[in-house]
Structure 1
Amino acid sequence: MKKIIIYTGLLAGLVTMVLFTSCKEEIDPVVEDLEFNRAFSPVGVEAIISNTTTVTLTWSSVKNADHYLVELYDGATASGTLIHSAEVPASEESQVGYSYVMPAGDTQFSARIKAISSLSGVEESKWTIVAFKTDPENLFQGYDTYMSAMNACIVQWEPGVTATSLLLVSGATETPYNLTSEDLALGGKQITGLANGIYEIRLMNGNFVRGRTNVVIEVMCCWAPVKISRLRWMLFRQEE
């Protein structure tokens, strides 16, 4: 009876060892590094506005990224006009950031970002898109625009800003006046040859409006200048 029990125990032990060995051989080794054929898209993307028109984009670092492509667009869907593009180096920090001064305030823009992998054979990631709107601005605020002579006016705005032209609007008529580097540095321009009327003046940066103001041009029997400014004096000196 004891021999039968012993033989039975030995047999059960052998079967258990065989099953354990068989199961052990079928278990896959632990995978420490998963391999992907495409880089991960940036996540945690945020757009923060400062100084009215400066946008700072931030996002979480992507593992094994060599650099990132950043594109900025007019409009909220990254399908409008491309305004700016840049390559941003990868960072060892947990967050990556990029700042750019947008062309105008109070305007809807968007950005899209993708990661370019440092690993051979790994495709670039898909785009991540974020929409943002710059803060309202009026670069004429705090500066005078006024009739300076018969059929003429002086327009003043914040010196040193980026702009391309003044657009004078009277009814359905729109007349552009290009700005020189001297105009921009001075922050002002004298416009002559204006017909009598009420004008809306827009400070333009390409197609973007950076400020609006108004001026009235009218006939005065005994006209005399009501303001003498440093700008007007400099403009008159340039004409001499």
Structure 2
Amino acid sequence: MTAKFIGVGVGPGDPELITLKALRYIQQADVISYIANEKGESQAKEIAQLALESIADEYEEIALFMPMCDDRRVANKVYDKAANDIREALKDNKNVVFLCEGDPLFFGSFGYLLERLQVDVACEVVPGISSVHAASSALQLPLTMLKESFAVVSGRHSEESLTHTLNSHDSVVIMKAGRSRQRILNALAASNRMSEASYLAYIGREGEDIQRDVSLLEGEAGPYFSLFVVVKTARDRS
């Protein structure tokens, strides 16, 4: 088997943030794979649309239709089926490119497929710009300087865990903020870091939302593609 399974990061949303290497691999793909919702909509495919339109030859698609639920058993069945479909394509000597929002190995679904396939097929990863760095750029705010500590955590952690992280590090990015918004706001209040936080959603995409005063946010659930950036206002330059 000489074909490869390649995870390609397409960046956080702006199609111009796709790297030249990612563009080349997409253009050379025999099969394009991606995560889609039950309606067939795919954020990663939408970001890469201009790159896909530049493919000269016809290509096949393998879509992973992921139900909107937190049942890992359901998700595992989707990944198992997709891994089998991808393996069959590779056996036919077809290179398979999996489109990943942001970076393939940073909170990415590609990792679950990589675990299933790298034991017996050739794999490659093309890194992409993550939403963390897109957020920093949008805010024009350095994430870390000099000896500042930096942590990235999921909003799915408990309020106590989030508060501990906020108390332990100078800069914190909290991912997966959608349904965890109230819990994150509670942790920010408990750690007295509400004034140091910014909220961003759909960075570089249509509907981009940047809120620098998070006290104005409602506690209701927000979009999946949202995060909080917390950076100390007073920075020690000594």
**TM-score normalised by length of structure 2:** 0.28
Higher RCO by CA contacts (8 Å cutoff, separation 6 or greater): 2
Larger Rg: 1
